[in-house]
Every structure is written in structure tokens, then in C-alpha cells.
Amino acid sequence: MKIAVCIKRVPDSETRVKIGSDGKRIDEAGVKFVLNPYDEFAVEEALQRKEKAAAGEVAVICLGPAAAQETIRTALAMGADRAVLLQTDAIPADGFVTAQALAAELKTGGWDLILFGKMAIDDYNQQVGPMVAELLGLPCVTAVAHLEIDGTKGVAEREIEGGIEVVEFPLPAVLTVDKGLNEPRYPALKGIMAAKKKPLEVKPVQLPAGGIEVVALTPPPERKEGKIVGEGAGAVAELVRLLREEAKVL
């Protein structure tokens, strides 16, 4: 199994977002960056598939700034074999530009599987995986929560409103994965030491701006101060009255 996993460096989910002075991006000062949580499931899945096949390679591809090397080392410490950093200081707002850069890197790899997290928890673009599949002419299943592969046939399950869609696809394929697909491992000390010696190729890339331009990044509207209706079950009647008469939602 030859598997590529596309990963992203994102602010930790506990980050308090502060808007930068240009009003178009976040202020990164003091922000802790991590491997995108959904990408952890993708890395884990790739490692398990390779281990099961007892052969193959797991390569990690990341588009991001020089600092993303730290994120890449996390994936290498989990067990990936090698990595490529497509280095750029700014990830464009236009996901198609990102997809083109990744597709250009992936097109000659001869991959059996190309895995992505179903989305990045920073820009919420939710598009790069299926776009890479389109650009490479590969079949794609998104938001995979359960996966079985037998030879070159795969069966994936994905959550839809009110049910689970069972989807068949042939390999090679591009999959984007959901939380719950597996239990991502923590890098062991041995893995962390080994990761320092694994190949990490840095390739500077120049990206076009694309067709989606950031106008402003703003804090969400403040919610108006709420009120404590009361304490205990005795407050419920008043709560229901307020929901009916004041909020008019019942």
C-alpha cells in the first residue's frame, strides 16, 4: 500500500481567536499550532493500512509555512515514513489553488490511497480533498467514518442527515476522513526520536491568488447579556414563560 496523507497545521481548538492588525487574518502571537485533528485520523488510517499490508509507504504532504515542519514531525513521529512540505507563507482563501498545488505534487506518485481529514478546523473550507480527486481523475469518497478495503475494492460509510450512506469505490482513490474512523495513536518517544531522522523535503511554491479575496476577518457578533432565570426545578415555569412570551420560540 502506497499512501499519501495531506495534512495541515492549524491553531489548537482551544485557541481564543484574536484578529490581527490588518483585519484580515488572526493574530498568531501566542497561538499554539497543532496537526489538524481530522488529519490525525487520516495519518492513523494510513499507518494501519500499511501495517496490515506489511508493505508500502506512508508519505505526508503539507502545504504551509516553514513552521509547519513541526506539524509534519508529529505525523512522522506517529509513524509516517517521509514528508514533503510545499512551503508558502500564505495559504490562499481559494481552496482550488491549494488543491492545484497538492495535485501537482501528487500526480506522479502512483498512490493507492490519498487521504485527507474531512476539513481543517481553521478555514473550514471542506473542499481540497475532492478537488484534488477531480484534478487527478480519481474516485473520491468524503467524510468517511468507516472503511473496509479488499484488494482494489473499498466500501466506506459516511454520515448523512438521518442515516449512514454505504459507498463502494475502486482503488486508487482519494478519501477524506471523519472523526471516529479509528483511534489515533500518540507518538511514542521512540517515534519522536526516529522522526528527527526521517526525510523531509522542503519545496518552495509560488501560489496564484485565486478568485476568492479576503475582505475582512471580524469577531462574531456579541450575544447580548443573558439572565439567570432562577435555581432548581422551581425556575422551570418561569423559563417556559420567557421562552414563550419573550423569546417566542415555543
Partner 1 sequence: MSAILAVCEQRDGTLRKVSHEVVTGARRIGEVEAVVCAAGPVQGADQLGRFGADKVVTLTNAAFAKYSPEGCAQAIAERAKTGGYGAVVFAASATGKDLAPRVAAKLGVGLVADCTDIAAEGGTILATRPVYAGKALLKVKVATKPAVLSLRPNVFTPVERPKAGGAETIAVNVAAGRVVVREIKAAEAGALDVAEAQIVISGGRGLKEPANFKVIEELARAFGGQAAVGASRAVVDAGWRAHADQVGQTGKTVSPTLYIAVGISGAIQHLAGMRTSKVIVAINKDKDAPIFKIADYGVVGDLFEVVPKLTEEIKKLHG
Which 30-59 positions form the footprint of partner 1 (CB under 8 A)?
37-38
Per CB under 8 A, does 232 bind partner 1? yes
Per CB under 8 A, does 29 bind partner 1? no
Per CB under 8 A, does 104 bind partner 1? no
Q: For residues 151 and 162, which CB has a smaller minimum distance to partner 1 in the complex?
A: 162
Q: Pick from 80, 106, 64: which is nearest to 187 by CA?
A: 80
Q: Pick from 193, 183, 192, 198: which is nearest to 78 by CA?
A: 192
Residue 72's DSSP bridge partners are none
Among 56, 82, 104, 122, binds partner 1 (CB under 8 A): 122
Q: How many residues bind partner 1 (CB under 8 A)?
A: 86
Segments of 73-199 assigned E as strands: 82-87, 113-117, 140-150, 153-160, 163-170, 173-177
Q: Is the peptide bond before 221 cis (omega within 30 degrees of 0)?
A: no
Residue 137 CA to residue 132 CA, distance in Å, equals 8
Q: For residues 129 and 195, which CB has a smaller minimum distance to partner 1 in the complex?
A: 129
Among 64, 79, 129, 187, binds partner 1 (CB under 8 A): 129
Per CB under 8 A, does 140 bind partner 1? yes
Q: What character string, x for contact with partner 1 (CB under 8 A) and - otherwise, covers 175-214?
A: ---xxx-----------------------------xxxxx
Among 124, 148, 151, 189, binds partner 1 (CB under 8 A): 124
Q: For residues 151 and 220, which CB has a smaller minimum distance to partner 1 in the complex?
A: 220
Residue found by looking up cell 521512540 in the block: 190
Instruction: Show Cβ contacts of residue 27 under 8 Å, excluding neighbours closer than 6 positions.
Output: 18, 19, 20, 21
